[in-house]
Amino acid sequence: MKFLRLPLACLSVAIAGLAPLIAQDRVVVNDSIDALMKQGIMPVTIVSDDQAVGDLVRFALGAHGAFSVRANSAVRVSIGRTGTSAVVACDHASFAFQTTVEARDQDELALRVADAAVVGLGRAWKLRPLFAATKVAFVSKYTGNQEIYTTNLVHSKTARITNLRNTTHSPRWSPDGARLYFITSAMTGFPEIYSTNGIGNPRGVITNVRGALGAASAGPDGRIAFASSNKGNMDVYVAAADGGGARAVVSTPDVDADPAWSPDGSRLVLTSGPTGRPGIYLASAAGGGLTRLSTGYGYSAEPAWNPVETGLIAFTYQSGGLHLAVVDIQSGAIVAVPTVSPMSFAHASWCADGRHLLATQSLGSQSWIAIVDTKTGKATRLTDSKLGECSQPACHVRRN
């Protein structure tokens, strides 16, 4: 497995229009803690005795929409590193905390330090750990062909997982995060589903398929759901982890695709409908009828079930360009992710805190992976431009 050390890149989204807050006879300017806290944003300064870890933590907190990293905030997080452990602390009266974290290497240490800062500073907002428990897979054209890569949420360690010199796409993690399912035509010239742990030859899962084939989404019990047109229409199938016993569970006259499992494995959310006007539907993983989720948009696709806030589903909608929104399946409420970027977002996957998404961000013919905060709309570029076009992010969330 070849590791590529890549520089960090960050696309900052400006937050404008913060009006001064007048309290009695004093004016609190926009850069003050009080004014920003009212916007759900905390200004923070990172001080580290280790530059490498400090830089990674600055990137991490800078990508989290609840924080604004700057040089002179009264809220200071200090990091003291000793080998693969660190003491993370803040002595501000309102946000004081101290935590010792242990890790296996520098990259994991930076992720754990960032999580300690998020949780320690964000107690009032009940912020959850984000960085160390999220593994990322994506597609890149770095070699000229689409191949599968993995990275972390500070893009400090990147590995190429496939080297098939062919179009390889649609990565999805196994439930334990040890293997990746993907689609390639490299073996027979037809799209087939394989899995790999990054070592040795890929293992065939769904092979000898003739027709369109969609990503193999793994449920919590190991079963996979995927879409296939092998029988004519594009239908959704469920099979064992090794591809055995595949059977259609959703079959309509329209196109059925993009299945994603509920966190308890009892249901699927999927895209269904005529080409050009798809919608989001729920179905039992055992099969049966569909229940449509009303999104309010004529084009809704690529649903992703939140692993933490299990009543929430993210999806892509079309309105001018492609954008992201979240639906609450209990209340029916639809909230568009408030990104101020004019660029398109698609192929979303939830991170470990149930607040952030990874998505494909694109402008013209260029695309990259971005971290998107669903609360503030802040979008931060994750993959470096040297990796070329990057797309189709998939997160694995480690469950305790």
d(CA 39, CA 177): 36
The structural domain count of the chain equals 2
**Comparison of pLDDT for 207 and 20, the residue scoring more:** 207
| Domain-terminating residue out of 88, 121, 154 | 121
Measured over all CA atoms, what is the biggest interatomic distance in the chain, rounded to whole angstroms?
Answer: 75
Mean pLDDT of the chain: 90
- pLDDT greater at residue 342 or residue 181: 181
The domain spanning residue 65 has which CATH number? 3.30.160
What value does the mean pLDDT take over residues 224-252? Answer: 95
pLDDT above 60 (res 2): no
Same domain, 330 and 251: yes
pTM exceeds 0.85, yes or no: yes
Residue range 243-252: average pLDDT? 96
Q: What is the pLDDT of residue 78?
A: 98
293 plus 192 within the same structural domain:
yes
Q: Are residues 167 and 113 in the same domain?
A: no
Whether the per-residue pLDDT at 17 is higher than 50: the answer is: no
* Per-residue buried b or exposed e for 357-394, using 16+ beta carbons within 10 Å of the residue's own CB: bbbbbbeeeebbbbbbbbebbbbbbbbbeebbbbbbbb
pLDDT in the model for residue 92: 95
State pLDDT tens for residues 272-320.
Answer: 998 889 999 999 999 999 999 999 999 999 999 999 999 999 999 999 8
Q: Which of 73, 94, 121 is the last residue of a domain?
A: 121
Is residue 178 situated within a structural domain? yes
Q: How confident is the model at residue 8 (pLDDT cuts 50, 70, 90)?
A: very low
Residues 203 and 319 in one domain: yes
Residue 127 is assigned to a structural domain of this protein: no
| 268, part of any domain | yes
- Domain identity same for 172 and 101: no
187 with 145, same domain: the answer is yes
- Average pLDDT estimate for 329-357: 94
**Of 292, 289, 308, which Cα lies nearest the Cα of 300?**
292
Confidence of residue 31 (pLDDT cuts 50, 70, 90): low
| CATH at 357 | 2.120.10.30
Q: Are 258 and 241 within 8 A, CB to CB?
A: no
Range of the structural domain that residue 37 is part of: 25-121
Q: Model confidence at 1, in pLDDT bands (50, 70, 90)?
A: very low
User: Which two three-digit tokens encode residue 124?
Assistant: 């009032």
Do the Cβ atoms of 112 and 100 come closer than 8 Å? no
User: Residue 9: is its pLDDT beyond 80?
Assistant: no
The answer to whether residue 99 sits within a structural domain is yes
User: What digits encode the pLDDT tens for the residues 129-160?
Assistant: 999 999 999 999 999 999 999 999 999 999 99
Residues 52 and 82 grouped into a single domain: yes
If 0-12 CB within 10 Å is exposed, 13-18 middle and 19+ buried, where does residue 141 land? middle
Amino acid 351: pLDDT: 98
Residue 400: predicted pLDDT: 61
pLDDT at position 340, please? 73
| Residues 68 and 199 occupy one common structural domain | no
Query: What percent of the chain clears pLDDT 90, i.e. is strictly above it?
Result: 83
What mean pLDDT is predicted for residues 223-252? Answer: 95
Domain boundary among 121, 148, 179: 121
Nearest of 99, 149, 147, 103 to residue 121 by alpha carbon: 99
Tell me the per-residue pLDDT of 357-396, one tens digit each, with 9 for 90 and over.
999 999 988 999 999 999 999 999 999 999 999 999 999 9
208 occurs within a structural domain: yes
User: Is the confidence at residue 25, as pLDDT, over 50?
Assistant: no
Q: Are residues 213 and 238 in the same domain?
A: yes
Q: Are 231 and 339 in the same domain?
A: yes
Could you give the CA distance from residue 391 to residue 262 in angstroms, rounded to a whole number? 23
Same domain, 114 and 140: no
Cα gap 41→58, rounded to integer Å? 15
User: Are residues 82 and 140 part of one domain?
Assistant: no
Q: Is the pLDDT of residue 26 over 60?
A: no
d(CA 190, CA 184): 8
Give domain status of residue 219, yes or no.
Answer: yes
